Amino acid sequence: MKKTIVVQVHRLVRHPLYQRVLRRATRFKVHDEENRAKVGDVVHIMETRPLSKDKRWRLVKILGHQEPPADPSEGEGAEVWRPADKPAAKPIAQVESPAAGQTRQGTG
């Protein structure tokens, strides 16, 4: 797509029944006349007349740049999280087995 960028806007919403905060994202196709925006840019957009089937927004200005996350397949410089790096969680309850020689007696 020439002269088009896809802008993703994140927002937090509360679930109506469970009251848990959920992370939602909306994607906008935005017209970029000069192809100035790059991956990771923070941009200002404004609504405009329909420019194509999906494009209803245009780029006003680029506010800043954020580096995209490093690709884990690139070796050096890429940090990869592994479950072993996470400290072990404390158990909430511990199940004990009956001691040797003891049997469980039921009523049935």
CATH number of the domain bearing residue 54: 2.40.50.140
d(CA 28, CA 8): 6
8 part of a folded domain: yes
Beta carbons within 8 Å of 54's beta carbon, 6+ residues apart: 29
d(CA 75, CA 70): 10
Number of domains in the chain: 1
**Taking 70 as the threshold, does the pLDDT of residue 19 lie above it?**
yes
**pLDDT higher for 95 or 9?**
9
Lowest mean pLDDT among 21-25, 31-35, 88-92: 88-92
Give me the percent of the chain exceeding a pLDDT of 90: 53
Residue 83 is given by DSSP the state: G
Q: What is the domain range of residue 51?
A: 4-67
pLDDT band (50, 70, 90) for residue 1: confident
Residue carrying the six token digits 């797509």: 1
CB atoms closer than 10 angstroms to residue 22: 10
Q: Where are any strands of DSSP class E within 36-97?
A: 41-47, 57-65
41 part of a folded domain: yes
Query: For residue 4, what pLDDT is reported?
Result: 94
Contact between 79 and 70 under an 8 Å Cβ cutoff? The reply is yes
Quote the mean pLDDT of the chain: 77
